[in-house]
Amino acid sequence: MKKSQYDGGYYYYSEQGSREQDYKGDTGKNVDFGIKDIIAMIIAAFELVLPPLFMIFGVVLGIYFVLKLVSGF
């Protein structure tokens, strides 16, 4: 296959035939995010971030109560 560039896209064609096919890669994809997609991404980000924060909070709280119990205050 040979490749030649044209208008930001590429034409791929076999060496045997003269038929050309337009291939623009990812430039032909139309990305259309709606409000539901954005909200879903925000929720997914919180789902990834919150469990480690809860674990850190639990460890800090546990250390606090252990030190409070040991020190007697």
For residue 11, is pLDDT > 80?
A: no
The rounded Cα 25 to chain-centroid distance in angstroms is: 20
Whole domain around residue 13: which residue ranges? 2-71
| Predicted confidence (pLDDT) per residue in 18-71, tens digit | 555 555 555 556 777 889 999 999 999 999 999 999 999 999 999 999 999 999
What is the edge-to-edge ordering of all strands in the sheet holding 9-13? 2-6, 9-13, 21-23
Cα gap 45→69, rounded to integer Å: 37
- Regarding pTM above 0.85, the answer is no
Q: Which residues of 27-56 are buried (b: 16+ CB within 10 A; e: fewer)?
A: eeeeeeeeeeeeeeeeeeeeeeeeeeeeee
Domain count, the chain: 1
